[in-house]
Chains A and B, each alone.
Chain A
Amino acid sequence: DTGVSQNPRHKITKRGQNVTFRCDPISEHNRLYWYRQTLGQGPEFLTYFQNEAQLEKSRLLSDRFSAERPKGSFSTLEIQRTEQGDSAMYLCASSSRPAGGGNEQFFGPGTRLTVL
């Protein structure tokens, strides 16, 4: 088990372009989370999946953002028509147990997005 992996690690794009990030969770973890972190702030929740079902989306997730988790394995986060305000670190985390205790989330290294 190699932990949570994310690709790419860095992405530089021009405003208006679409970008897609990938997250591979720890195997057999049924919950997968996406967070966004900007400079000087803690990570902010974006969305999460239990298996292939997307159960919650934050108000931060505008209609330009879409996430999928086909077959309950890896997940992708797509941002359409990127804006400079989308520049941030995008973090993925996974966990194996329901909420209520013992539900530590394990994070990947993140994808650093820079929108020029």
Chain B
Amino acid sequence: DQQVKQNSPSLSVQEGRISILNCDYTNSMFDYFLWYKKYPAEGPTFLISISSIKDKNEDGRFTVFLNKSAKHLSLHIVPSQPGDSAVYFCAAMNQGGKLIFGQGTELSVKP
């Protein structure tokens, strides 16, 4: 069963606008969530994380929001830049420390 889901396989946004990537999870025991960015032929690059005791974490243009009651998190990128075009993965960490990834959302930021 897919414990972490990213239901939008792709997203297209205009440069300068906000990109919102969504992620849903099923296991309420997850206590840490991360977003990774991946370019083709490279490994995932860590972007931002959030602990389950928080509902928001911000780092520059990137903000992650966590809604525990809805088991939903989102990544906001403002303003979006063409260099942000990549595949974005959300991941949840279980008690043992391993990551469970969603299927990814391919973001395309158009100039």
Q: Which of A's residues lie within 8 Å of B, judged by CB?
A: 4, 6, 31, 33, 35, 40-45, 48, 55-56, 91, 93, 95, 98-101, 103-110, 112
Contacting pair A106 B46 (CB below 8 A): yes
Contacting pair B103 A45 (CB below 8 A): no
Contacting pair A91 B104 (CB below 8 A): no
Q: Which of B58-66, B70-78, B93-101 contacts A (4 or more CB under 8 A)?
A: B93-101
B42 on interface, CB distance cutoff 8 Å: yes
Contacting pair B99 A45 (CB below 8 A): yes
23 inter-chain pairs at a CB distance below 8 angstroms, sorted by A residue, are A31-B97, A33-B98, A40-B103, A42-B4, A42-B6, A42-B104, A43-B44, A44-B101, A48-B97, A55-B96, A91-B43, A95-B97, A99-B95, A100-B32, A101-B31, A101-B51, A104-B49, A105-B34, A105-B46, A106-B46, A107-B36, A107-B45, A109-B43
Residues of A near B43 (CB, < 8 A) are 4, 6, 91, 93, 107-110
Residues of B4-62 at the interface with A, using a CB-CB cut-off of 8 Å, are: 4, 6, 31-32, 34, 36, 41-46, 49, 51
Question: How near does chain A come to B57, taking the closest CB pair, in angstroms?
Answer: 12
CA distance A43 to B45 in the complex (A): 13
Question: How near does chain A come to B37, taking the closest CB pair, in angstroms?
Answer: 11
Residues of B near A40 (CB, < 8 A) are 103-104
CA distance A42 to B41 in the complex (A): 14
B107 on interface, CB distance cutoff 8 Å: no
Contacting pair A104 B34 (CB below 8 A): yes
Residues of B near A35 (CB, < 8 A) are 99
Question: How near does chain A come to B7, taking the closest CB pair, in angstroms?
Answer: 13
Question: How near does chain A come to B54, taking the closest CB pair, in angstroms?
Answer: 10
